[in-house]
């Protein structure tokens, strides 16, 4: 999918503090957010635990549906909507658990579900 979003994709907020030794590769996706290209959820969690950081779930999944023109554009609109919907959770990372493109009367219809997550140093 050229939109960069698929099941297991990790989206990370720009400017968050990360471990110095962390080799995170990412690409710009939406204003203030980047798509991680070298890790998916489970591998990222395992790596962060190994170096003494946490990558934890914030709450139940956030789900949105968006109708629009063009798959890439519709995915980006859906992503912005999911960030806006979950803003009160104050998360710095989002793990996409479902990303489903469909067609309805010639329009692109996108359903995205994701878990708000946080990356931070381990408190102990």
Of 3-7, 13-17, 49-53, 62-66, the poorest mean pLDDT is in 3-7
Contact 58, 116 (CB under 8 A): yes
Q: Is pLDDT above 90 for 32?
A: yes
CATH of 10-121, one of 3.30.2450, 3.30.110, 3.40.50, 2.60.40: 3.30.110
The torsion of the CA quartet 69, 114, 60, 18, rounded to 10 degrees, works out to: -140
Q: Is pLDDT above 50 for 7?
A: yes
Per-residue confidence at 124, pLDDT binned at 50, 70, 90? low
Dihedral sign for Cα atoms in the order 81, 82, 88, 92 = negative
Query: pTM for the complete prediction?
Result: 0.84
Q: Where are the domains of the chain?
A: 10-121
Backbone angles phi, psi at 71, to 5 degrees: -60, -50
């Amino acid at each position: 999918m050229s939109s960069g979003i698929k099941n297991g994709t990790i989206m990370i907020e720009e400017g968050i503090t990360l471990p110095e030794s962390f080799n995170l590769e990412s690409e710009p996706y939406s204003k203030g957010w980047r798509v991680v290209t070298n890790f998916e959820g489970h591998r990222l969690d395992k790596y962060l635990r190994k170096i003494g950081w946490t990558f934890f779930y914030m709450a139940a999944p956030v789900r949105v549906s968006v109708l629009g023109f063009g798959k890439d554009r519709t995915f980006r609109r859906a992503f912005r909507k999911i960030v806006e919907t979950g803003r009160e959770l104050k998360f710095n990372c989002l793990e996409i658990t479902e990303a489903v493109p469909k067609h309805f009367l010639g329009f692109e219809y996108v359903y995205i579900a994701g878990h708000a997550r946080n990356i931070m140093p381990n408190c102990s």
